[in-house]
Amino acid sequence: MNGFLNILKPPGLTSHDVVKYVRRLFPGTKVGHGGTLDPGAAGVLPLLLGQATRFSSYLMDLPKVYRAELFLGLTTDTDDSSGKTVDWEEGPISLQKGEIKKILTSFLGEIEQVPPMFAAIKKKGKKLYEYAREGIVVQRPARKVQIHSLQMLAYYPPTRILLEIGCSKGTYIRTLCAQIGAALGYGGHMSFLLRKEVGTFELAQACTLDDPVFSSGVARARQALLPLDYPFLDRERLCPGEKGIKKLLQGQYIPFKELQAQTGGASGEPVDGKILPVYTTTGEFAGLAGWKLDRAVGFQLKPEKMIQI
């Protein structure tokens, strides 16, 4: 059983709860997920089954799109509505849409975030939220993340702003909401979160866990499986030929000039660090390979994650 599932995670379940549910559907199959979604959040949760788990790190790197509501005037210790109130704005909140849009523009591009204490990342082998539950605050270095897009979809005066955010991996949307609230001068927290996209995985195509396809036996559930190359369908394809595929499967590098000769110049222009899906001459997905620039020999195609075909 190899492939991906595009699951619509409901609020109230952890990402691992969803993984455990699917493991019961496919006994003996390795199952993982492509990026944690907070228990209170809903939205796209890619699941990886069988050989798809080999591509876990690549799914983590995919850009994401979220829809979130910022509630102004009240800050919490978790930056979302599940936490304890830390501070609240006693005076009236008065904002114009133009003011909000101007502040949002300032968050586009590279920004720094300090991960919240209620987070799953580890410090000295222990998760941050475990320290937080013990009342311990530890130092967390700031991280750089990319905000690709940040749009105000609606403003419901005086306290609620509906946002759509496109961002890089590692972005904490609740922290971003708290940052925006602080920049607006009133503080705030995230009161709602929906993940709309993880790379090619989109909300419109996601399946719920109570979908009939999952309650009609394994054979029917297989119909929901997406192919192993699904996360990479928006990338340029590379077909290195039979000899090239054999080399990559054996862990060997292929010089660019050799690849050009084998493919008749159809391999495109190399870009250092660019990772591409690789296909056989019959169109079968064989894995991922990436360009690497070597000063001595020039560009070479390096096997990244290949699968036995």
Which residues belong to the active site? 38
Angle at 133 between CA 128 and CA 138, to 5 degrees: 40
d(CA 269, CA 66) in angstroms, rounded, equals: 33
Give the Cα separation of 37 and 129 in Å (integer). Answer: 15
Q: Give the burial class of 205: count Cβ atoms within 10 A of its Cβ; 0-12 exposed, 13-18 middle, 19 or more buried.
A: exposed
Cα–Cα distances in Å, from 295 out to 129, 134, 247, 256, 292?
A: 45, 52, 21, 13, 10
Q: Apex CA 10: angle with CA 15 and CA 153, to 5°?
A: 110
What does residue 245 show for φ and ψ, rounded to 5 degrees? -60, -45
